[in-house]
Amino acid sequence: MTDVDGAAVEPPRGTAAHYLYFLDWAERKGELPTSTVQNWRNASTKVLEIESDWRDVNVVDFDLNEHLSRFEILKRTSYTTSSMSAYKSRTKTGIEAYRAWLSHSPDWKPKGSGSTRANRTASKKSAAATPAAGSVEQKGEAGGYVPHHTTLIEYPLPLRPGVRALLALPEDLSETEAKRVARFVESLAFAEQPATVAAGTSAE
C-alpha cells in the first residue's frame, strides 16, 4: 500500500480527519480525479459534521449505513431529494474506498474513478471511438446537451426575497463547466437602469 505523504502532520488513521487527509493525498498524487475528490470531500464533510468532534469519529469501525440514515433524518428539510441521495452516495463510496485503501486492497478505487493519467488515456480511447455525426452520444458532447446517463443534482438558489431559482447541474461538475455556467448566467442578466431623477432636482 502506498503511504500518504507530503503533509506536515498525519492525523490518527481511521479517523474522519485522516480520511480527509487521504483524499488530499489522492488528489495531490493524481490517484483520483480532482472532481471526484472534491465531491467526496464536500459530501462527507456535510454528512459527518452532524457529530460533535466529527473529525475524531472512527470512520472504519462505525456503522456507516446507520450514520447515513441519521443524517437523512436530521437534514431531510435542508436538501432536495436528489441532493440528499447524492451526498449519501458520495460519502459511502468515499469512505468505503478509504477503508479498502487502509486494508491494502489493490482495488480500492471505485470503477470509473481511476487515476488522472488513466482517465486521460481513457478519454483518448473514447474520442477515437466517437460515434458518427448525428448520434445521441455525439450530440451530448458537441451540442452541449446533457447525456441521458448523467446524474443531475438540484440546487436551490435564493436570488432575492421571495424569489428562489433552481439549478440542475451534473454531480461531477468540473471547474471549467462551472465557469461556463457562470458566464452563461451573466449573459442572461438585464442591465440595471439608473434611478430616475425627480423633476426639478439637480442630478449633481
What are the tens digits of pLDDT across the range 147-180?
445 566 767 777 677 676 777 777 677 778 788 8
What are the tens digits of pLDDT across the range 73-132?
999 999 999 999 999 999 999 999 999 999 999 999 987 665 545 545 544 554 444 444
Report which DSSP code applies to 32. Answer: S
For residue 16, give the C-alpha cell.
474522519
Query: 51: closest CA among 41, 60, 59, 40?
Result: 59
For residue 28, give the C-alpha cell.
495531490
Sign of the dihedral through C-alpha 197, 201, 202, 204: negative
Q: Is pTM, for the whole model, over 0.85?
A: no
